[in-house]
Chains A and B, each alone.
Chain A
Amino acid sequence: MLNRRPQGAGFFMCDSCHFADMHPVFAYICFYSKDLIMKNTLALLAGMVLCFSVEHGFAQPMLSAKIGTVSQVGQTVELSVTAEEQFYFAGNRYVLYIGIHPFSIARQTDTGGKGQLTFLIPANEFSALPEGGRMYLSYGDIVDMDESGAQGDERASSVPNACKYLGVFTAKMLGH
């Protein structure tokens, strides 16, 4: 089932501004706000917005997305990404970036209210991926993706429900 995430955690957490750990509404507030009074005022208003939003149900699977299993089936490496909520099922596509390399062919097998995407990566491409490449799951393409991950970081911080940093790549993930 979509969404139904407890709201309100991290209500006055703007001082730290760890965007990726927050509900996106609060992340936006932190991003914009310049002083604590403004933060808290806006956060209060946002709480009212969220009360409304809960009723309508905002799914935020990106916030809990993480790498699951990585296994090889024939000539394909299957890399799963899981989430505590179902992934969006809509027009755009999920793209897994490993370094600058995008992968968008993925089975979407959300079950029991949990999200699961299984990216299908040709084994030869997987083995050629650079060690230490930064991994991002993005809803929609990141056109200007670079090796440093600057574009991914910017997207993950500014729109945390559309992009998540998943750590660095190592070929040793295979089999785990």
Chain B
Amino acid sequence: MKRYLLFALFFFTFCCTGFTVQAQATADPGLPGPYAVTRDTFDLGDLAFKPPSFPVRVEMRGSVHYPSGLTGGPFPVVVFLHGRHTTAYKVSNPSVVSGKWPPDPGFTSITSFEGYDYFASTLASQGFIVISVSANGINAADAGTSDAGMNARAELIQKHLDLWNTYNTVGGAPFGVKFVGKLDMKRIGTMGHSRGGEGVVFHALLNRSLGSPYGIKAVLTLAPVNFYRQLLSDVPLMNIAPYCDGDVAGLNGVHYYDDARFITTDTTPKYSVLLLGGNHNFFNTVWTPGSYKGGGASDDWMVYANPLDPWCGTSATSGRLDTSEQKAALNTYGCAFFRTHVTADTSFLPILEVEHTRPPASSKLDSTQVFVSYHAPYKKRKDINRTSMVSNRLVNTLSGAVNAAGMVTSTICGGSVSSMPSCMGGGALKEPHAGTSSFDGLAAAALRWNNKSAYYENEIPDSDKDITKYRSLSFRTAVNYVETLPARHLNFRIQLVDSGGKTSSRVVDSFSAALFYQPGTTPGYLPKAMFNTVKMPLDSFKGINHTKIKSVRFLFNESDSGSVLVSDIAFSDINKQPCGIARAGFRDSLATGYTVYFTDSSEKNAGDSLVFNWNFGDKVSGFKDTSSLRNPTHLFSKSGVFYVCLYLSVYRENGLVCRDTFCKNISLGPVGLNEAQTYPVSIAPNPASDYLLVSGAMPGDALELFTQYGQSVFKTGIGQTQVMLPTELSSGLYFAVIHTAHETVVHKIVLKK
């Protein structure tokens, strides 16, 4: 009974007292987009295709969701591949299911490919063409093959892309020429669920081996198997791991992320999403009990694992997500991923890059239910300690010394099972990141303390002491449940020390809920140690010299005792490459009535690629309130003042380097634009140190500085061109807002002290 009381204590601690996370405003990627959606199906027959690597023929069948009317385009493409599931059910008794293909007489196909229609519909409403393909024929025979049908899955996807390339170029049955010119075959995302997850990894590699005839821009593995540990790099990857997965209970997809972290030529990011109460099947409506006419649906945790587990079981106090929450989570994070990496929409980077940890409302989850991990590309981060080698116990990746004081344990565990000790010895299902005799696992620093004076420190060599180009300090961590009391919510501090001896520290749980004691009690299964990213803004460490950082300390002074695993300690330089002269700007002019032409006047550096996102501040106009055109035209809904913003994203060779925003009020009188109220206001220099030069302002105008978190830190009237800045302002990113009689202009500036 004590076990259950401890669980109750955990529940109270975790859910009711919890942690604090800074208020954040996050764009919501899971909301329906501006397009109406049409759904069609296609079916070339049960035995239409013989995958070269597979012993039998399989079907070519699927569904397509697309923007109704297909006006415009070509549209980016996403392909879904479902996982292994029974293939048919008996028409006269749907509870009788079969794994044969093609179905026996009296049986009909189970349409697993339709199970993600909810997600496909959202993506299509946002401007994607989404193709979901059936793989029953492979599922029926893959167990008897040496590769579990993974190569066949890759070949099936490629065959479908070939088919859709034909629809896109010359057309064909059943669609005729409807899709000719409508698919952008160079901008494709793929998502695979369960065995389909490993299938899309194999496919990305197959497509690459064929010379990349199709542009695979993003790969999402959803509760995937990972039987063969194929390494997929050089493409953005997101793995979604449901903690209560009863089927792929080892959450083996974590290795896709872990294995691809330290490839120095890889310019693409990796993401991992942990859904703390998710199971395996509820992502697919066909596999979800009660939502499909045929049989075979189940709650996998209840079937394969432990119905009575206090967290993953289905008692009233369990932590399980219901079916709608689980689907909403896929919808939200999947859309964020594909929109970011297939369409280069940068709006959701704060979610993916763990700058905003509060889940978007469309996910139906809170910060204790979903954890995003982010691994920046090599050129956008500075590894302090990869914790990947035994030697990293004493010398970090920067060649700085690693020190520990007062620690019970400070060592490196995991990694190669032949050369490093196990981190917890809990078994593979309880340590998904662990290695096997065939494959290395995730190596980590094992840090245990039993007094509040203990610390763990990574020294920063002089050559790397200037961290001003970086925006965040990040690491991944998991509570070591073996060495920590159940229900114990841990906390500690990160302290930066500069060469002058000044220090600044922040508590981890101000930024992340990752230091939770993992829930569940099923022997061999739970609790399960999953690593999650903690990211802390460097500008939150105040009063120290960021150009001369001497060390990064983990101060264990927040909890009397505890034990954590830590990996991937790094400075992340997200968006910290200088914009150079790149600046957002636009001019506006009246066409007729309330129609306004907007002309981009942004400046850019040679070689920059610019992505434009406009918001016209005219919510009544619905989805037309935004545009990604360079020079859009907008028909305003009425007269009045509209706050129009151009969000500029600047890309260079290594991806996104910076963003700039330019906003101004557009005033529309009864007869249209009040031309006299538009005049340019600019600010220089940028970066600035002690002063700003404001040109174009008028007497009576005001300048106000906001931090990136929206806190007003300075406000003054603009009496003359030069405005002196308060000396107490620290280095960092600010928004300079100029209030004039007619408009508000916003510039992003950097202060370097």
User: A: which residues have CB within 8 A of B?
Assistant: 1-2, 24-25, 28-29, 31-32, 38, 42, 46, 49, 53, 56-59, 86, 88-94, 104-108, 110, 117, 120, 139-144, 151, 154-155, 158-159, 161-162
User: B: which residues have CB within 8 A of A?
Assistant: 1, 3, 83-86, 93, 95-99, 139, 143-146, 148, 194-195, 223, 225, 227, 247-250, 280, 289, 295-296, 298-300, 302-308, 427-429, 434, 436, 521-525
Q: Are B308 and A107 in contact (CB under 8 A)?
A: no
Which residue on A lies nearest to B146, using beta carbons?
Answer: A105
Which residue on A lies nearest to B289, using beta carbons?
Answer: A56
Q: Are B248 and A92 in contact (CB under 8 A)?
A: yes
CA distance A131 to B413 in the complex (A): 35
Nearest CB on A from B97, distance (A) = 6
Taking each of B93, B295, B427, B436, which has the highest tally of chain A beta carbons within 10 Å of its own beta carbon? B427
Nearest CB on A from B619, distance (A) = 43
Known contacts A92-B247, A93-B143, A155-B524, then 13 further A-B pairs from the complex at CB < 8 Å, ordered by chain A residue: A25-B307, A28-B522, A53-B307, A58-B298, A89-B85, A94-B143, A108-B143, A108-B144, A143-B436, A154-B427, A159-B306, A159-B522, A162-B249
Which residue on A lies nearest to B521, using beta carbons?
Answer: A32
CB < 8 Å neighbour of A90 from B85, B144, B434? B85
CA distance A162 to B306 in the complex (A): 10
CB < 8 Å neighbour of B84 from A24, A25, A90? A90
Contact status of A107 and B280, CB under 8 A, knowing A158-B524, A159-B305: no
Nearest CB on B from A149, distance (A) = 14
**Residues on A with beta carbons closer than 8 Å to the beta carbon of B83:** 90-91
Nearest CB on B from A134, distance (A) = 17
Q: Are B303 and A161 in contact (CB under 8 A)?
A: yes
Contact status of A92 and B296, CB under 8 A, knowing A106-B144, A158-B524, A159-B525: no
Q: Are B289 and A32 in contact (CB under 8 A)?
A: no
CB < 8 Å neighbour of B3 from A32, A46, A110, A120? A32
Q: Are A56 and B146 in contact (CB under 8 A)?
A: no
Contact status of A159 and B148, CB under 8 A, knowing A90-B300, A91-B194: no
Of the A-B pairs whose beta carbons lie under 8 Å apart in the complex, a sample of 23, sorted by A's number, is A1-B96, A2-B295, A46-B308, A56-B299, A57-B298, A58-B302, A59-B298, A86-B99, A89-B85, A89-B86, A89-B296, A90-B83, A90-B194, A91-B223, A91-B247, A93-B148, A117-B143, A140-B250, A143-B428, A143-B434, A144-B427, A151-B427, A161-B305
Which residue on B lies nearest to A27, using beta carbons?
Answer: B306
**Residues on A with beta carbons closer than 8 Å to the beta carbon of B146:** 105
CA distance A158 to B309 in the complex (A): 12
Q: Are B247 and A159 in contact (CB under 8 A)?
A: no
Nearest CB on A from B357, distance (A) = 29
CA distance A158 to B96 in the complex (A): 29
Contact status of A108 and B99, CB under 8 A, knowing A49-B307, A53-B307, A93-B148: yes
CB < 8 Å neighbour of B524 from A32, A110, A141, A154? A154
CA distance A162 to B223 in the complex (A): 18
Q: Which 5 A-B pairs have the closest CB atoms?
A: A91-B194, A143-B428, A158-B523, A107-B144, A1-B96
Nearest CB on A from B132, distance (A) = 17
Contact status of A89 and B99, CB under 8 A, knowing A57-B298, A106-B144, A154-B523: yes
**Residues on B with beta carbons closer than 8 Å to the beta carbon of A89:** 84-86, 97, 99, 139, 296
Q: Are B307 and A91 in contact (CB under 8 A)?
A: no
**Residues on B with beta carbons closer than 8 Å to the beta carbon of A57:** 95, 298
CA distance A29 to B521 in the complex (A): 12
Q: Are A91 and B84 in contact (CB under 8 A)?
A: yes
**Residues on B with beta carbons closer than 8 Å to the beta carbon of A29:** 308
**Residues on A with beta carbons closer than 8 Å to the beta carbon of B96:** 1
Q: Are A88 and B307 in contact (CB under 8 A)?
A: no
Nearest CB on A from B430, distance (A) = 11
CA distance A151 to B425 in the complex (A): 12
**Residues on B with beta carbons closer than 8 Å to the beta carbon of A42:** 308
Contact status of A28 and B306, CB under 8 A, knowing A154-B523, A158-B522, A159-B523: yes
**Residues on A with beta carbons closer than 8 Å to the beta carbon of B427:** 143-144, 151, 154
**Residues on A with beta carbons closer than 8 Å to the beta carbon of B1:** 38
Nearest CB on A from B421, distance (A) = 13
Nearest CB on A from B729, distance (A) = 54
**Residues on A with beta carbons closer than 8 Å to the beta carbon of B308:** 25, 28-29, 42, 46, 49
Q: Are A1 and B306 in contact (CB under 8 A)?
A: no
Q: Are B524 and A88 in contact (CB under 8 A)?
A: no
Nearest CB on A from B246, distance (A) = 9
Nearest CB on A from B161, distance (A) = 24
Nearest CB on B from A32, distance (A) = 7
Nearest CB on B from A140, distance (A) = 6
CA distance A74 to B296 in the complex (A): 36
**Residues on B with beta carbons closer than 8 Å to the beta carbon of A154:** 427, 523-524
CA distance A158 to B524 in the complex (A): 7
Q: Are A24 and B306 in contact (CB under 8 A)?
A: yes
Which residue on A lies nearest to B304, using beta carbons?
Answer: A162
Q: Are A1 and B247 in contact (CB under 8 A)?
A: no
Q: Are A53 and B524 in contact (CB under 8 A)?
A: no
Taking each of A49, A90, A106, A108, which has the highest tally of chain B beta carbons within 10 Å of its own beta carbon? A90
Q: Are A88 and B250 in contact (CB under 8 A)?
A: no
CA distance A90 to B247 in the complex (A): 7
Which residue on B lies nearest to A24, using beta carbons?
Answer: B306
Q: Are B303 and A105 in contact (CB under 8 A)?
A: no
Which residue on B lies nearest to A59, using beta carbons?
Answer: B303
Which residue on A lies nearest to B227, using beta carbons?
Answer: A93
Q: Are A144 and B298 in contact (CB under 8 A)?
A: no
**Residues on B with beta carbons closer than 8 Å to the beta carbon of A25:** 307-308
CA distance A89 to B297 in the complex (A): 11
Q: Are A105 and B143 in contact (CB under 8 A)?
A: yes
**Residues on A with beta carbons closer than 8 Å to the beta carbon of B227:** 93, 104
Contact status of A106 and B307, CB under 8 A, knowing A56-B289, A57-B298: no
Which residue on A lies nearest to B143, using beta carbons?
Answer: A108
